[in-house]
Structure 1
Amino acid sequence: MTIPPQSTRQKIPTGVWVLGFVSMLMDISSEMIHSLLPIFMVTALGTSVLVIGLIEGLAEATALIIKIFSGVISDYLGKRKCLAVIGYAMGALTKPLFAVATTTGLVMTARLLDRTGKGIRGAPRDALMADIVPAQIRGAAFGLRQSLDTVGAFLGPLLAVGLMLLWNNNFRAVFWVAVVPGSLAVALLFFGVHEPESPQTNKRSNPIKRENLKRLGVSYWWVVGIGAVFTLARFSEAFLVLRAQQGGIPVAFVPLVMVMMNIVYALSAYPFGKLSDHMSHKALLVLGLIFLIAADLVLAMSDHWSVVLAGVALWGVHMGMTQGLLATMVADTAPEDLRGTAYGFFNLVSGLAMLLASVLAGLLWDQLGPSFTFYTGAMFCIIALIGLGWQPIFKIVKK
């Protein structure tokens, strides 16, 4: 039975909305920095694209790998919110390091610490989401949180553009302003989210004991594998920013590329999340890969600003189709008391794939050029499509 849009919105718990606004504020803070960081590193610090790819890969891999530990701890304690608050607070406290950085090494340190905070909060927050939301509207809820998160991801670059124009390309001043929304995110989470009581009354066992890991069945591990292949096919978005710079877009306007992607992402995440509650997950994943192939091919063709914006918009549709969906699929295939661990393992494998993809993209960019980099991304997408065709895993997950 199809749930009317208004009815779905009314059923989504308040805690989901609060978590969405927390994500939005932290993304405003992060994207004010990250939308400018590749250009800052190249122009102000003289960093090579290969090193940027390495830093981005290590940073994202760090966040995703740490999620396994925070997820396991949240399952063992039966508490999610405390770890989420610690993670968001750590992210907020690292923002000033970008403003004072004078070397690539300090930027790398700040980036790794920032992503460590993301790793600490990620799996407990997603598990908390799954604990709060009824199963029948889980896709819509994850899509809503992702949409609000992504609103922050385009407001951040917009603020960065405005402040860069106002302050004559003063990167460091913009980085200082980013401290404010990060701090507000921590306060909203601390005071605005109430964790539901755990129904488990017996003593909790180690979530990564063999007998517990066996409870993560075949369908869950296939979701993990699919998530890794998707990550491998989609390297760091820092390369979208660098592609825009090649087309001669003024430095102050380069963050508008991320604004474009995230507007499309925000507008598509909730509708596709809601759709995933009522249709084949496999069909949505295939369609998402097709959009990513199209994005890669468009970005490989030309660095003209209009072509880059078209490619980035396609990239945003792909993100809207797949990111909330993969999070929903993890919740659907994992036992309730192991959701933190399940998100942790999912992100561990995706983190390793992100590291490999970003380093490879940076190497290809430096050695063979940006076009070859995006053609390679399209090739990985085709491999993922073949893999989806071979394995009927979604008969287990969702028909």
Structure 2
Amino acid sequence: MKSSLLTKNVIILSLVSFFTDVASEMLYPVMPIYLSSIGFSVLLIGILEGVAEATAGMSKGYFGKLSDNQGKRLPFVQLGYTLSAISKPLLVAYVFPLWVFFARTLDRFGKGLRTGARDALLSDEATNATKGRVFGFHRAMDTLGAVVGPLLALLYLAYRPEDYKMLFLLAFLPGILAISFTFIIREKKREKPQQISKTSFLDFIRYWKESPAAYRKLLVPLLIFSLFNHSDVFLLLKLKEAGLGDTHVIGLYIFFNLVYALFAYPLGSLADRWGMKRVFAFGLFIFAAVYLGMGYADHFWMFIALFLLYGLFSAATEGVAKAWVTNISQPKDTATAIGTYTAFQSIAALMASSFAGFVWYSLGPEFLFLVSGTVALLIGLYLNFSKM
């Protein structure tokens, strides 16, 4: 690992993401339980998460475009992480449904606010030959937070069972650390736009028409895959359906994130040497194997193997996709390119989960996993043999 690849800004941004994910994932095991305890039905929880994710998705595109138009990155990063941090204690300040909707949406709004600008800062710290490693390291640190967070939550709840409110307040502490680190980041000087144009909420959609042909050619298969890459909740539901207890389910979730964190940097480095397309297609082939296997798995050891592979899939695709997108976009449009991609991806993911819920209950989980796995296999083959 060459020190020149991982600059001060890359390391600090990765630590910011680590502490933010620790805060968010501390609440992962208890969020549905807490919401149920204050009177939220399963339907209302679904609506809450749908609204929150839609807010994050649409705001990613808008604020990515705004960051490029203003020629600034750091203010979006600092404010975005601040909003996500303060949303944690706000969630338990009051139990009124509208207040909970506000606090949860504030968290996702913060994510939308920072994503494009943060990834543009990461892109500024790398060359086309090192993007995979830089984004891979960032994803590794971010996902390590998804390992530490649930472990801290399980440890706390072992000593203080059902003390959910205090856990939400404690989650504010790593959030404060994340905010503090953002003030050490030093944004590189950029040429100020001669004229700052007004940015409307859907301006990022116009970028689709103005973007390079290579960008659109890449995003079409990526977004088609997103339409069939539904929420991980359905994988966890499969574990519950197979008879696994909560401890085993959460344990497998932590195991998946640990594999993801360990392999994100090596696979990002491999993408720099072998090419983004090959590694991403390899990830889709792994996804296909996982989903085709998940439909028929019924033993704990099989789930361990599948979640190990699922961690490899995430490590081979998430950071690599962003590195690939930044490599084929103009530096002045980096935040817009990332924001547009992640906005459309969020919308596609929302549609995917809605579709998955319908298929699960009407045709069964085996058919759902078969369809998703087959689509991933076809897109992987397309990418592998296409010229990009």
Partner of 2:295: 300
Match of 1:3 in 2: none
State the match for 1:278 in structure 2. 273
Whether 2:87 is the aligned partner of 1:94: answer: yes
TM-score (normalizing by structure 2): 0.89
C-alpha deviation, 1:64, in angstroms: 2.2
Q: Distance in 2 between matches of 1:40 and 1:243?
A: 22
Report 1:64-103 matches (<5 A): 64-99=57-92, 102=95
Stretches of structure 2 that go unaligned for 5 or more consecutive residues are none
Q: Which amino acid aligns with 2:186?
A: H
Is the contact between residue 54 and residue 362 of structure 1 (CA under 8 Å) also seen in structure 2?
A: no
TM-score by length of 1: 0.87
Aligned to 1:331: 326
Alignment of 1:233-272 (within 5 A): 233-251=228-246, 254-272=249-267
CA distance in 2, matches of 1:337, 1:100: 41
User: What displacement does 1:20 show?
Assistant: 0.2
- Residue identity matched to 1:25: F
Alpha-carbon distance in structure 2 between the residues aligned to 1:240 and 1:111: 23
Which amino acid in the other structure matches residue 26 of structure 1? T
C-alpha distance in 1, partners of 2:351/2:136?
Answer: 27
- For residue 397 of structure 1, what is the aligned residue in structure 2? none
Counterpart CA distance in 2 for 1:244 and 1:83 is 38
Between 1:358-367 and 1:344-353, the stretch displaced more is: 358-367
Q: Residues 152-231 of structure 1: matches in 2 within 5 Å?
A: 152-189=145-182, 191-200=183-192, 202-205=194-197, 216-231=211-226
Offset at 1:82? 0.1
CA RMSD between the two structures: 2.8
SS at match of 1:11: coil
Give the Å deviation of 1:27.
0.4
Deviation at 1:100, TM superposition (A): 5.2
Mapped pair 1:359 → 2:354: yes
Following TM superposition, by how much is the alpha carbon of 1:260 offset from its aligned partner in structure 2, in angstroms?
0.9
Q: 1:292·1:318 contact (CA, 8 Å) conserved in 2?
A: yes
Residues 362-373 of structure 1: pairs in structure 2 closer than 5 A: 362-373=357-368
User: In 2, Cα distance between the equivalents of 1:266 and 1:309?
Assistant: 16
Once the two structures are aligned, what percentage of the paired residues are identical?
31
After superposition, the Cα gap between the structure-2 partners of 1:239 and 1:107, relative to the gap in structure 1 and judged at 3 Å, is: farther
CA deviation profile, 1:92-117 (whole Å, cap 9, x unmatched): 11112443575776655443221111
Decide whether aligned partners of structure 1 residues 283 and 133 sit closer, same or farther in structure 2, where only a CA change above 3 A counts: closer
Deviations 1:361-383 (A, max 9, x none): 22233444433332332133134
Name which of 120, 126, 134 aligns with 2:119.
126
Distance 2:228 2:282 in 1: 14
2:80 counterpart letter in structure 1: G
The CA distance in 2 between the partners of 1:232 and 1:100, in whole Å, is: 36
Aligned-residue offset at 1:231: 1.9
Change over 3 Å in CA distance of 1:53–1:316 after alignment to 2? farther
Quote the residue 2:316 is aligned against.
321
Distance between the aligned counterparts of 2:99 and 2:358, measured in 1? 22
Evaluate the alpha carbon distance shift between residue 310 and residue 108 of structure 1 in structure 2; reply closer, same or farther with a 3 A threshold: farther
Q: 1:327 Cα deviation (Å)?
A: 0.5
Instruction: From the superposition, tell whether residues 253 and 385 of structure 1 become closer, same or farther in structure 2 (CA, over 3 Å).
Output: closer
Separation in structure 2 between the aligned mates of residue 77 and residue 291 of structure 1, nearest angstrom = 40
Q: Whole-Å Cα distance in 2 between the matches of residues 44 and 313 of structure 1?
A: 35
